Amino acid sequence: MIKFLNSIIDLIYRKKCYFCGKSKQSVKMCSDCYNELYFADIQVQRIISGINVYSCGVYDKYLQKLIRGIKYHNQKELAYYLAKFMYEYFEQTGIEKQFQVVPVPMHKSRKRKRKYNQTELIAEEFCKLTGFTFNNELIERIKDTKPQYKLSRPERIKNLSGAFKVNKEKLLDMPILIIDDICSTGSTFEEMIKTLKSENISDIVCLAASSPV
């Protein structure tokens, strides 16, 4: 009887895939849907102020739904799958360094409203997979900027000007890997790089989960 009841409970509470709705694997992203994620070319996507920027995939279909689920729909468990996707991409770049991983910070007022910073969740999972050191204290967002997606590139640059502060006492003796979910114009990475370089910190690589094209 107990075994029967446990099987009923398992059936009721099985997780459904956020993408296809199937519960066979009892996970938030089943292997079939995960395999629908495709890498961008394994190469430097752009160079910002002399710093290499990589983008793991194109922001559409499954990757778009994955990122939006984490960011806007409280699907925090999905951070693992996005981190795994980024880890599998990053492994193929051939970069062999031990990084401190710095997620793009969120202003404290916005974090209070959302209750979490999705980029921190992704970075933490990425560090578990890579063995890198998670460091969310090095860079602080001191300006509550407007959402970037509706702004032109010049507007984004103006919006982000002076948005970040480096807490140099939190700097570890290792290169920095800045992580973000989306890199569209590159303005967020650009301002963070500028802020770090103003403190004579330049051993940096940037990694975004996706870019628009």
Q: Give how far Cα 89 sits from Cα of 3, 34, 40, 140, 205, Å.
A: 43, 14, 9, 27, 14
pLDDT in tens, 115-152: 999 999 999 999 999 999 999 999 999 987 766 666 77
Q: Does pLDDT of 3 surpass 70?
A: no
Q: What is the CATH number of domain 37-211?
A: 3.40.50
pLDDT of residue 8: 45
Give the model confidence (pLDDT) of 180-204 as tens digits. Answer: 999 988 999 999 999 999 999 999 9
What is the DSSP pairing of strand 133-134 with strand 139-141? unpaired
The predicted-structure confidence for 162-183, as pLDDT tens digits, reads as follows 889 999 999 999 999 999 999 9
Token pair listed for 136: 């969310």
Question: What value does the mean pLDDT take over residues 15-19?
Answer: 95
Q: What is the pLDDT of residue 18?
A: 97
Provide the pLDDT confidence category of residue 161 given band limits of 50, 70 and 90. Answer: confident
Domain ranges of the chain: 1-36, 37-211
Q: What is the pTM of this model?
A: 0.90
